[in-house]
Structure 1
Amino acid sequence: MLAMRPNCECCDRDLAPDAAGAMICTFECTFCEGCASERFAGVCPNCGGGLVARPVRPTGLLGKAPGSTERVRKPHAACV
């Protein structure tokens, strides 16, 4: 099951698990659509893999399978 991280690790924008707007790589590095496309051109700055749209978790399942609450931030030069 995806961790569904709650924020963009670049700009720290909130990314709800039941809403569109998050991009992930195969290691679940998580970015908002703006940072993924404008800062990183769709390529994960951590692993070099492609960033794709993260699936949306159905709102009705969040009680049983909530998203992560651990916020991840990394010091990417493009995010300063």
Structure 2
Amino acid sequence: MLELRPCCECCGTDLPPASPAARICSFECTFCATCAEGVLRGRCPNCAGELVRRPVRPADRLAKFPASTERKVKPQGCVAA
């Protein structure tokens, strides 16, 4: 099950569970659309994997299976892989 991490790892922008701006790789590294499409050019800086739109968990499932609250932000920001 996806963690639905709460923020962009590059810039710290909040990404609520229903955010259409969240992008993830196959390891669930999480970025905002601005960072993913800009500086990262669609590639995860951690694994070089493709960044795709994160699916939205339905509200009734979110109540039973809540999103993560653990924030992971790179203090130095991100650079392309």
> Same fold, TM exceeding 0.5?
yes
Q: Quick one: structure 1 residues 77 and 65, their matched pair in 2 at CA, closer, same or farther if it must change by over 3 Å?
A: closer
Letter in 1 for 2:30: T
CA contact (8 A) 1:45 1:76 kept: no
Q: CA deviation at 1:63?
A: 1.2
Report deviation, 1:58: 1.1
Give the TM-score of the pair, scaled to structure 1.
0.90
Question: 1:63 matched to which residue of 2?
Answer: 63
Structure 2 length-normalised TM = 0.89
**How far is 1:77 from its partner?**
4.6
SS of the equivalent of 2:60 reads helix
Q: Provide runs of 4+ in structure 1 moved above 2 Å.
A: 75-78
Identical amino acids, percent of aligned pairs: 55
Q: How many pairs does the alignment contain?
A: 78
Structure 2 runs not aligned, ≥5 long:
none
Tell me what 1:47 maps to.
47
Structure 1 residue 27 displacement after superposition: 0.6
Q: Give RMSD over aligned pairs.
A: 1.2
Question: 1:33-65 CA deviation, whole Å, 9 max, x = no partner?
Answer: 000001100000111111001101112222101
Q: Where does residue 38 of structure 2 map in the other structure?
A: 38
